[in-house]
A = this chain, B = another copy of it.
């Protein structure tokens, strides 16, 4: 594999039609024609019985890394040269392959994008790729591959974090992840809401301490060799006296695991160490958390964390927290304190985004140069909602007097909303619906795009993890609570400027009438 890794993860990490189209553009003199493509998604993740009201954008830096490192190699070209069509003829000719060898790089592409970690919404262009048609087309698949998945996972992580009411979130999903996608998933989880991850490599890369406890197999191994659960716990505590989190459900959580953990914790305390936690991985986690708190408190370990795991997601966590709040007082346990001492280990549901395992992000041609001017391109669709917003565009976030985000506004690139004028927000499909925001009702108009990639290089330094997390926290703070609700969230407005609305509808009308009149034949 490793000898093939560069081949399967390089320029040919893309769909076949990107290459057949690139060759066509080359032969029509269009390969280097300047175009713009928009990356956006059409709806927030919908998990079946519940749906996100916002998403967290992620994946951009790893896409830019891929772009910086990728160019057509001689192996790529040799492979394309070898491909034969149905009639035995070569599919790619030397003219195109020569062009690809010389021009198959990202150096002509410019990218502006919303920064990673930010709250984002449907239909807003999150990434705008500007440059020669053939290469801008060719990277469609890698753009979608990098951004769809990380945005999906960052969004799930944010929901999980919100459900946990500030308790730490540990990402544990590597074993159920989609193979090497695990690494991108861990990164996105750390941006979106996970505090730590068990994934050592990516934790190291991102500058976060990897976290974990031990497996059932460690206790099993001691048992099989004639030892006991207590022996296993003691061995672990001896080696990690200041970092001791014990998995207590290998034999019997309440009758064996927790009492044994408490004995070990007492020894640690005598030795001047602070025991860290226990982990519950099966059974009724809400009930067991309460019982664990009772036993730990009785032994004077009020500060020991209770780590929960086993098929957690945002709804299960929300249910557990709710159940603890209802049940704990009956046992004389302070529910608020118990909820704060929890930590949640989340695996499959986070890294595969259970319920909705793919974001519906798309990458669409929106403009093409003609005579030095970008001409809007459009694609009609069955539904008005799916009809593209054409042309060279920008995006602004509008904050109201409470300093809460009230709408994202998509407009033409040369617009400058604001000043003394009211802002007019056009509903994207419903023509009569317009919302007018008086200047005095607007506290801020924030441009969302930054230029991040020019001439094959990243512009400036990539943000560190803390910066991306801080963006998320700030954006969530400025988002209405109704939009953040786990189930049936309130709809956030994404609107078009009047000029964009008019430009789009003129283009739609013209295309429709041309089709009707057969003028295009």
Residues of A at under 8 Å CB distance from B?
1-2, 4, 7-10, 12-21, 23-25, 27-28, 30, 35, 37, 48, 59, 62, 65-66, 69, 79, 83-87, 89, 91, 133, 137, 140-141, 144-146, 148-150, 172, 174-185, 198-205, 209-218, 220-221, 223-225, 228-230, 235-236, 239-240, 242-243, 250-252, 255-256, 273-274, 276, 282-283, 348, 352-354, 357-361, 364-365, 367-368, 370, 375-382, 511, 515, 520-521
- Cβ of A239 and Cβ of B179 under 8 Å apart? no
How far, in whole Å, are A203 and B17 apart by their CA atoms in the complex? 13
How far, in whole Å, are A17 and B282 apart by their CA atoms in the complex? 18
Q: A69-B2, A86-B276, A273-B87 are in contact. Are A205 and B357 (CB under 8 A)?
A: no
Q: How far is the CB of A324 from chain B (nearest CB, A)?
A: 21
- Cβ of B204 and Cβ of A7 under 8 Å apart? yes
Contacts A/B (CB < 8 Å), 20 sampled = A2-B65, A2-B69, A8-B202, A9-B201, A13-B200, A15-B175, A15-B200, A16-B199, A16-B200, A20-B214, A83-B209, A86-B274, A87-B243, A148-B176, A178-B179, A181-B182, A225-B375, A250-B379, A252-B515, A354-B357
Q: Which residues of B contact A354 (CB under 8 A)?
A: 357-358
Q: Which residues of B contact A368 (CB under 8 A)?
A: 221, 224-225
- Cβ of A1 and Cβ of B62 under 8 Å apart? yes
Least CB separation from A224: chain B residue: B377
**3 smallest beta-carbon distances between A and B, as pairs:** A181-B181, A178-B181, A8-B201
Q: How far is the CB of A180 from chain B (nearest CB, A)?
A: 4
- Cβ of A521 and Cβ of B202 under 8 Å apart? no
- Cβ of A357 and Cβ of B365 under 8 Å apart? no
Q: How far is the CB of A249 from chain B (nearest CB, A)?
A: 9
Question: Which of B12, B69, B252 is close to A1, meaning CB atoms less than 8 Å apart?
Answer: B69
- Cβ of A178 and Cβ of B212 under 8 Å apart? no
How far, in whole Å, are A219 and B307 apart by their CA atoms in the complex? 55
Q: Which residues of B contact A217 (CB under 8 A)?
A: 21, 37, 137, 140, 364-365, 379
Question: Which of B150, B179, B352, B364 is close to A146, meaning CB atoms less than 8 Å apart?
Answer: B179
Question: Which of B9, B225, B242, B255 is close to A370, meaning CB atoms less than 8 Å apart?
Answer: B225
Q: Which residues of B contact A140 (CB under 8 A)?
A: 175, 215, 217
Q: How far is the CB of A363 from chain B (nearest CB, A)?
A: 8
Q: How far is the CB of A365 from chain B (nearest CB, A)?
A: 4
Q: Which residues of B contact A251 (CB under 8 A)?
A: 380, 511, 515
- Cβ of B145 and Cβ of A179 under 8 Å apart? yes
Q: How far is the CB of A270 from chain B (nearest CB, A)?
A: 16
Q: How far is the CB of A483 from chain B (nearest CB, A)?
A: 25
Q: How far is the CB of A377 from chain B (nearest CB, A)?
A: 4
Q: A16-B200, A30-B221, A242-B85 are in contact. Are A184 and B180 (CB under 8 A)?
A: yes
- Cβ of B365 and Cβ of A220 under 8 Å apart? yes
Q: How far is the CB of A472 from chain B (nearest CB, A)?
A: 20
How far, in whole Å, are A288 and B174 apart by their CA atoms in the complex? 42
Q: Which residues of B contact A25 (CB under 8 A)?
A: 221
Least CB separation from A243: chain B residue: B85
- Cβ of B521 and Cβ of A9 under 8 Å apart? no
Q: A205-B4, A215-B21, A365-B220 are in contact. Are A174 and B240 (CB under 8 A)?
A: no
- Cβ of B24 and Cβ of A218 under 8 Å apart? yes
- Cβ of A7 and Cβ of B87 under 8 Å apart? no
- Cβ of A521 and Cβ of B228 under 8 Å apart? yes
- Cβ of B12 and Cβ of A256 under 8 Å apart? no
- Cβ of B212 and Cβ of A15 under 8 Å apart? yes
- Cβ of B175 and Cβ of A179 under 8 Å apart? no
- Cβ of B216 and Cβ of A379 under 8 Å apart? yes
Q: Which residues of B contact A215 (CB under 8 A)?
A: 17-18, 21, 137, 140
How far, in whole Å, are A10 and B24 apart by their CA atoms in the complex? 40
Question: Which of B16, B179, B221, B375 is close to A198, meaning CB atoms less than 8 Å apart?
Answer: B16
Q: Which residues of B contact A148 (CB under 8 A)?
A: 175-176
Least CB separation from A201: chain B residue: B8
How far, in whole Å, are A21 and B221 apart by their CA atoms in the complex? 11
Q: Which residues of B contact A210 (CB under 8 A)?
A: 16, 83
Q: A9-B183, A230-B520 are in contact. List 14 more A-B contacts (CB 8 A).
A: A8-B201, A8-B204, A8-B205, A17-B214, A20-B214, A20-B240, A23-B239, A27-B239, A48-B48, A79-B200, A85-B242, A141-B174, A177-B178, A354-B357
Q: A179-B150, A215-B17, A370-B225 are in contact. Are A282 and B220 (CB under 8 A)?
A: no
Q: How far is the CB of A405 from chain B (nearest CB, A)?
A: 28
Question: Which of B10, B137, B175, B211 is close to A201, meaning CB atoms less than 8 Å apart?
Answer: B10
Q: Which residues of B contact A37 (CB under 8 A)?
A: 217
Among the interface residues A225, A367, A370, which one has the most CB atoms of the partner chain B within 10 A? A225
How far, in whole Å, are A251 and B381 apart by their CA atoms in the complex? 8
Least CB separation from A84: chain B residue: B209
